[in-house]
Amino acid sequence: MSVTNITDKKPISNEQRRSFNIVRLILEGRAFFALIVIIAVFSFLSPNYFTLGNFLTMSSHVAIFGILAIGMLLVILNGGIDLSVGSTLGLAGCVAGFLMQGVTLSSFGVILYPPVWAVVVLTCAFGAIIGAVNGVLVAYLRVPAFVASLGVLYVARGIALLMTNGLTYNNLGGRPELGNTGFGWLGFNRLAGIPISVIVLAALAIICGLVLSRTAFGRWLYASGGNERAADLSGVPVKRVKIIVYVLSGVCAAIAGLVLSSQLTSAGPTAGTTYELTAIAAVVIGGAALTGGRGTTRGTMLGAFVIGFLSDGLVIIGVSAYWQTVFTGAVIVLAVLMNSIQYGRRTKSG
């Protein structure tokens, strides 16, 4: 009777290990490498691309999508999705425009003109309320995140249209005699040459990164997104975490709405249309898994800059807007494919 040793395995050679490490490096750093390639290609095609002024201008455009993407990252890490951020952005702009135009109190025969800081606080609170509605629907009423946020998307857009009657709030600069000037400061002013919107994005990204890496909430978020049932049994307040991430997503959408309205000095009910898709794309390009539990703030920021620098680069070299959509969609599909390869490989090796 012969015995065969089935445990004998051929050892992995140094060459195979080296090639595996290279593939892993490319997969994990794909957003960074893509950004370098985009900058190099467009710098070669246009002499106006690789300039400090152009980078700052493009960064101010990226700020809106980047702020949205930070909130979306938190939701996706939790294993959810928030399709309402674009509509929340538009509604937040309309709320800010409504407040800047003056609030009429018919009973007292007066018109209140709140200062800009009050407009910002009230608008962010409004975004938090919309996020809380999403969170309650998903966490307590167990409505699928896709369906819940899709419904809130339509509700928020409808409210914005009702508020404005389909029109746009113009001239949101305010008036000195009313004490509500300074709204344009967020979109136009610079600090040490850096646009305020970029500084806001950097501050939010740093805060988000610290929360995810240094706090108990960050550990709870990764745990509940990776395996909600196991996290619940381990004592993680799963429902509370779920509501908080949607609230934070709503606040980020409101801040993005304030930045966009300030840059345009106007607010319209259709602002932010399809922005939720761009935010999701930034998170995916940055390496986050749509199944939850995997992703970083750094990767999401790189993903936002990849989309922003690619779109602006195509505009600079005169590519048709239709082709811009095609290129952006191709980048998203490629990013999802690489996500599948990366996390599929990790699952098999685990």
Q: pLDDT for 222-262, tens place per residue?
A: 999 988 999 999 999 999 999 999 999 999 999 999 999 99
Coil, helix or strand at residue 110: strand
The answer on pLDDT for 26 being more than 70 is no
* Per-residue burial over 307-341, b = 16 or more CB atoms within 10 Å of its CB, e = otherwise: bbbbbbbbeeeeeeeeebeeebeebbeebeebbee
Q: Are 182 and 114 in contact (CB under 8 A)?
A: no
Q: Which residues, including other chains, have CB under 8 Å from residue 120's CB and lie 6 or more apart?
A: 96, 258
pLDDT band per the 50, 70, 90 thresholds, residue 283? very high
Catalogue all structural domains in the chain, each as residue range(s) with its CATH number: 41-341 (1.10.3470)
SS (H, E, C) 280-332: HHHHHHCCCCCCCCCCCHHHHHHHHHHHHHHHHHHHHCCCCHHHHHHHHHHHH
- φ/ψ of 90, rounded to 5, equals -65, -45
The C-alpha R_g of the chain, in whole angstroms, comes to: 23
Both tokens of 98, joined, read 């409504």
The full length of the chain comes to 350
Q: What whole-number distance in Å separates Cα of residue 90 and Cα of residue 119?
A: 15
Q: What percent of the chain has a predicted confidence (pLDDT) above 90? A: 50
What is the sign of the dihedral through the CA atoms of 229, 235, 236 and 237? positive
The DSSP code for 50 is: S
- The pLDDT of 85-112, averaged and rounded, is 86
**Token pair in block for residue 312:** 């602006």
Q: Which residue has the higher pLDDT, 289 or 1?
A: 289
Residue 164, burial from CB neighbour count under 10 angstroms (0-12, 13-18, 19+):
buried
Q: Summarize pLDDT for 112-152 with one digit per residue, the tens.
A: 888 888 999 999 999 999 999 999 999 999 999 999 999 99
> How is residue 2 annotated by DSSP?
-
Using the predicted structure, report yes or no on whether residue 288 has a pLDDT greater than 70: yes
Across the strands, what pairs with 103? Answer: 112
What mean pLDDT is reported for the chain?
86
Q: What is the C-alpha separation between 82 and 283, in angstroms, rounded?
A: 12
pTM assigned to the model: 0.89
- Coil/strand/helix, residue 208: helix
pLDDT per residue as tens digits for the range 306-337: 999 998 999 898 888 788 788 878 887 887 78
Structure tokens at 65: 């999508």
Which has more pLDDT, 326 or 21? 326
